[in-house]
Structure 1
């Protein structure tokens, strides 16, 4: 094995668990620390669908060599079952249990594992489900990364927040009552996980008189990125990598 893949074992001889944040999609937005640790870990694990390696693995292509052992963690379901259904939740919980144990087998054998995570690992990241299951058994390190909302905010024609603006981040998967209660005209707002609620969000934002401030961002930092006023956003379901951003009301001159 390559001499570069030599992260020391812990006192018990176990490998070290790393949550590697890979940024929002642009390979150049991976941090230097993430790239270094990725090059040193003998095992690279990543979440993906059955149809491909996933965005996190793709972002790290330049840093993964033949010396690495790859561990794909393949989701059993994505959109085939409603996310709120008991069946979906059970399948996903079972998946995270099995994934954590697959990672644990390498750690117990003394091999450190870099688990890749799109955006930031502790910001709606799948890595946290592995971490919570293994944190009391193995030493671990979480490497922060550029979050999707920061990449999206950088595409706007004015700052997301300034001066005394406050920020609220909410999941777009909530029902209408919860969404209306969560969007405050006096705060900057980032709505993640837009999905099928895109038309609903556009209606709520208009009802609240925020249409002039609201933006729709799709696949920020990726080659296919799109940014437009929310009122011009397409109808129907939004792609997974999409968000609504409402800059704060602070003075912007």
Structure 2
């Protein structure tokens, strides 16, 4: 990319995990950018970085943004937001410094950058001081319901996306009111999610998809899984049964 008075920071959605599902624009930006930034857990390669293996130019300069905390302290602890806020501010400053020097930067984003992703926390800080553009992508939930082999909605079905981190009462209420469901951020919240699905009368239709579109993808009824926790890349879908010709 050519140098200019001020560079552009691109939040590039990589899709659900399979490089073949990236957009043409995302592929072009990733392959041509000299500066590549991505999030990862400390000591890990990072899923976003793994998706683009073999795609980066030889002289690419990588900026790994390593989370200072993930599950070490609960979300309800005031320190959690304080620590992450400082982390995102530091990352923003680093990206703005590169932009101010005329460099373009591609920030790799799993799924879609504006759908429950870490890039959103950078975007809100960057948009007032830097030139920033977002490249949309296929979401992980889209890959999950596609992997299930059935449409997620029909006719006038109401689709709700709910987080397993919600209080059980809120989970149950959202699940009861929706016709079709996508449940994310499950992890250690699986027992609570199971109870909420049962109370909402949807447990018998719940499908568990792990690693949608990625190596190791599995699809099975939730009732066939007897564990108490799930890996990060796990989504539960409940298909709508609405109006159809």
Q: Which residue does the alignment assign to 2:166? A: 174
Q: Which residue does the alignment assign to 2:11? A: 19
Q: Which runs of 5+ in 2 are unaligned?
A: none
Q: Which residue does the alignment assign to 1:75? A: 67
The answer to whether the 8 Å contact 1:155/1:227 transfers is yes
Matched, 1:226 2:218: yes
Separation in structure 2 between the aligned mates of residue 40 and residue 157 of structure 1, nearest angstrom: 35
1:95 to 75, 87, 104: 87
TM-score, scaled relative to structure 1:
0.92
Q: Residue 126 of structure 1: CA displacement?
A: 0.6
Closer, same or farther: CA 186–73 of 1 in aligned 2, 3 Å: closer
TM-superposition CA deviations, 1:41-65 (whole Å, max 9, x none): 2211000111222111110113212
Aligned pairs for 1:1-253 (under 5 A) are 5-6=1-2, 9=4, 13-184=5-176, 186-251=178-243
Separation in structure 2 between the aligned mates of residue 130 and residue 72 of structure 1, nearest angstrom: 14
The answer to whether the 8 Å contact 1:194/1:240 transfers is yes
Q: Residue 233 of structure 1: CA displacement?
A: 2.3
Q: Which runs of 5+ in 1 are unaligned?
A: none
The answer to whether the 8 Å contact 1:196/1:236 transfers is yes
SS in 2 for 1:44: strand
